[in-house]
Structure 1
């Protein structure tokens, strides 16, 4: 029996388990739902491994550590698409592009010809943009499934439940569900849409800048695109709101009119756990190690 128990089998719990196994430990992995799924915030994530773009608002340490993400996921057997990120802005919001460029690094400016060379379906859609060549993306659901499968192959199966065994050293990776144990943890609501559009063949993540409703579009293959995501300072649970859906789809249309004919395959919403400084933290409290 292991003396380490991990609570939560979302992205945090699975990653911690993988790292412990790599170091020769055999943790118990316990999840209320018995495995990755729609109950986990990470199920609704975009899957962008976009360390430089995150530097627009994130601290330098997040950018530095994020540079290892694509290699880490690839080493776990996840399918990582290393095609970079293309950042665009409507003509009326060119100032947003200049602001984004000033706050980030790892990019090069591209003109209309450069945009068309990267994404032929966007020819004539934008005059200038930023290309972050060293960024990547993956399908979070497939990646979580692969992590869980690798752990199972190593003899670590996910146990259904929410109570650690007596005497175990507990690593709490339950995200927002741990809010009663972590003062200062707040919820940030995020909403997303999955679209099916066979009229576009985009290869890389696109970000459309807007002062009020910036969006990103992440290709998942087979004509599926993840469109996201709102960031609402609210911990209110529930389905996607009509307002969020309208704003996301309006921004998608601004990116390319073909998306107006896309099929809405799925919508989803969940609560991101975050602290006031938006930095990840490892906190030891009341005998537990919390990772958020």
Structure 2
């Protein structure tokens, strides 16, 4: 007999938990503070709506070491299973056949010649996976990333990839119609088996907290700011994430469906949700243009800012 389970927070982790629990036969209720399962960019919302979706256990060894690499390798396996499940349970009236938009075609790291010394220091931190970090000759780099500026140093990170988080959010929700979705009901707190709401407390066999930064009053997490720019680049052919190594920041470019790209950078230690600044916009666009000059004619569709939850040691 299944359990009655309450889940607080309809971000990516909450939806993944709901999928696993519903598949196991449990009766699940999911509480979400936003009034909609697809909130607008003007509302505080789950980090997944903004995330670029890179799956990069090798590259993330720079800051997370072996712990992040091992967990990241496991996540690659899990995402393949989840993507396959969503596609297998698709029907003609849904987008489930696109799964989570998973693409496992490796990723690229690049740097300008003037930054090679800094890049080599990063590469030494990835030495435990040296067999999967391959220096590419110029012709192969140009084949894997058409339009890449000549003269750049380029490495291929074998086995990495990316997914489309917003698509994953939509399809994970569509895959579990039997779940009770309680939108517009912020959770004030959780105790064992209890979910505390504005109008009272509801009891369950289990209560699971996946609120991210919404749980900061109860667990040691903080919000870390992330900024992205979404471009439309008709004719631009990119099939894998590209990460620019720079002494001050890491800029990434991730392909999206419909000839779109996401440009973003590593996190900013701030819980500010205000719009992206002029300086950040110029730095991101300049970095992208410096490695892909053909992006000069791309169009800016929108910018976005969000907070992702981080622990004190930045590890999962």
**TM-score, normalization: structure 2?**
0.82
Aligned to 1:135: 160
Distance 1:132 1:157 in 2: 41
CA deviation profile, 1:183-208 (whole Å, cap 9, x unmatched): x3222111111011124211110001
Q: 2:217 aligns with which of 174, 180, 203?
A: 180
**Contact preservation (8 Å) 1:81, 1:136:** yes
Matches within 5 A, 1:142-291: 142-152=167-177, 155-160=178-183, 161-163=185-187, 164=195, 166-168=202-204, 169-182=206-219, 184-280=220-316
The one-character-per-residue Cα deviations of 1:245-273 (angstroms, maximum 9, x if unpaired) are 11111111111122222111110101111
TM-score by length of 1: 0.88
Structure 1 residue 102 corresponds to structure 2 residue 124: yes
Distance 1:250 1:231, change over 3 A: same
Matches for 1:72-83 after TM superposition, within 5 Å: 72-76=78-82, 77=86, 78=99, 79-83=101-105
Corresponding residue for residue 35 of structure 1: 37
SS of 2:288 mapped into structure 1 = helix
Do 2:28 and 2:180's aligned partners in 1 also have CA atoms closer than 8 Å? no
**1:36 deviation in Å?**
4.3
Kept in 1, the 8 Å contact 2:112–2:153? The answer is no
2:272 partner SS = coil
8 Å Cα contact 2:15/2:173 also seen in 1: yes
For residues 126 and 86 of structure 1, do their structure 2 counterparts lie closer, same or farther at Cα, with a shift above 3 Å needed?
farther
Q: Match for residue 73 of structure 2?
A: 67
1:235/1:271 contact within 8 Å kept: yes
Deviation string 1:32-78 (CA, Å, 9 cap, x unpaired) is: 12424442111100111111111111131221121132332233222
2:117 aligned with 1:114: no
- Partners in 1 of 2:118 and 2:141 — Cα distance? 18
In structure 1, distance between residues paired with 2:38 and 2:61: 28
1:21 aligns with 2:44: no
1:54 counterpart residue number: 60
Which blocks of at least 5 consecutive residues in structure 1 are unaligned?
A: 281-292
Q: Number of aligned pairs?
A: 276
Q: How many Å separate the matches in 2 of 1:146 and 1:130?
A: 33
Say if 1:186 and 1:275, in contact at 8 Å, map to a contact too: yes
Q: Once structures 1 and 2 are overlaid, which stretch shifts more, 133-142 or 23-32? A: 23-32
Question: What is the CA distance between 1:14 and its match in structure 2?
Answer: 0.8
Contact kept, 8 Å, 2:102 with 2:161, in 1: the verdict is: yes
Tell me the distance in 1 between the aligned counterparts of 2:17 and 2:118.
Answer: 37
Structure 2, unaligned stretches of length 5 or more? 87-98, 188-194, 196-200
Q: For the residues of structure 1 that align with 2:143 and 2:278, how far apart are their CA atoms? A: 36
CA distance in 2 between counterparts of 1:111 and 1:88 reads 12
| SS of residue paired to 1:234 | coil
